[in-house]
Amino acid sequence: MQKSDIKSAMNEKGGFQIWWRLLRPHTLTASFIPVFVGSMLAFTDGAFHFTIFMAMLLASILIQSATNMFNEYYDHARGLDTEHSVGIGGTIVRDGIKPKTVLNIAFLFFGVSILLGIYICIHSSWWIAVIGLICMLFGYLYTGGPLPIAYTPFGELFAGFFMGTVIIGISYYIQTLTMDSSVIWVSVPIAIFIGTILLANNIRDLDGDKENGRKTIAILLGRKKAILFLACLFAIAFILTGILIITGILPVWSIISFLAIFKAWSVIQQYKGKTKPIEMMPAMAATGKTNTIYGLLLGISLFISKFL
């Protein structure tokens, strides 16, 4: 397939769209949802400061966007991405943007995140700076460094923990200046859903990643078992949500988050019979939407419970 054919199939356009794709916007739900849920948990406990929420949200989005750019840069540097690669921004290999430009933008985003982090720390604790720097380090090490996390079976675990549990915990703490075990429990389903986004990505890229020496969970399990594992993760997340509602950790209104089951089911159905990366793009996009629907409904349920 020619470069022009790939761009047509992916509906890639020029101009501003080049830079927008570099952010990989379909993955940014993994930044918004944890901040939203953590902040709504704080709201139910009577603490919410809008400016701190916005600073945390922007910092989280910038860090993930920078991580995506490091991914774009280092995969290109290692020869993994070509003009035929699906699922990448394509800014370097298809749009001709200099690799150094992408790397510099990533570090610029990290720099802005640090400034936002200073503002957050002034209003909370300087320990947040330490945790934030660790998150940024692992964002870089996901594809940078001598042994990229993306090349191991632990990518989903690290992504779920740092972008799910850690971000929800920070978002709650900077609002309340306290921490509660219930926050950690509520973060687990979100962490699982974020992990599934990466798993869906690795299922799509399985053949290419295998040729390039990666050892992701999808490669170790094989495509069929990896899809089954994805379905099991969805089931576990919803079962845990039910347990959290039954035990009173989540309000009964959180039952509305189960509407995300329909989107999760569509993910598995869309993978059936698909073997080419371009064919699996809709399933991957639907995985991100599953996290979005679940997280939005969960956050809304927390907001509602404050008044009812």
Q: What is the pLDDT of residues 78-107, one digit of tens each?
A: 777 666 666 555 677 777 788 899 899 999
279-210-142-14 Cα dihedral, nearest 10 degrees: -40
CATH number at residue 267: 1.10.600
Instruction: Work out the percent of the chain whose per-residue pLDDT is above 90.
Output: 65
Domain count, the chain: 1
Q: Which residue has the higher pLDDT, 226 or 14?
A: 226
232 lies in a domain?
A: yes
Domain of residue 219: give its range.
Answer: 19-305
Residue 223, amino acid? R
pLDDT of residue 28: 85
Helix 29-44 crosses helix 181-204 at what angle (to 10 degrees)?
Answer: 170
7 lies in a domain?
A: no
275 lies in a domain?
A: yes
Question: DSSP of 123-155, one letter per residue?
Answer: TS-THHHHHHHHHHHHHHHTTSSSS-GGGSTTH
Q: What is the pLDDT of residues 245-281, one digit of tens each?
A: 999 999 999 999 999 999 999 999 999 888 888 889 8
pLDDT of residue 88: 57
Label residue 150 by pLDDT band (50, 70, 90): confident
8 lies in a domain?
A: no
Check residue 18 and report its DSSP letter.
Answer: H
Q: What is the pTM of this model?
A: 0.90
221 lies in a domain?
A: yes
169 lies in a domain?
A: yes
41 lies in a domain?
A: yes
5 lies in a domain?
A: no
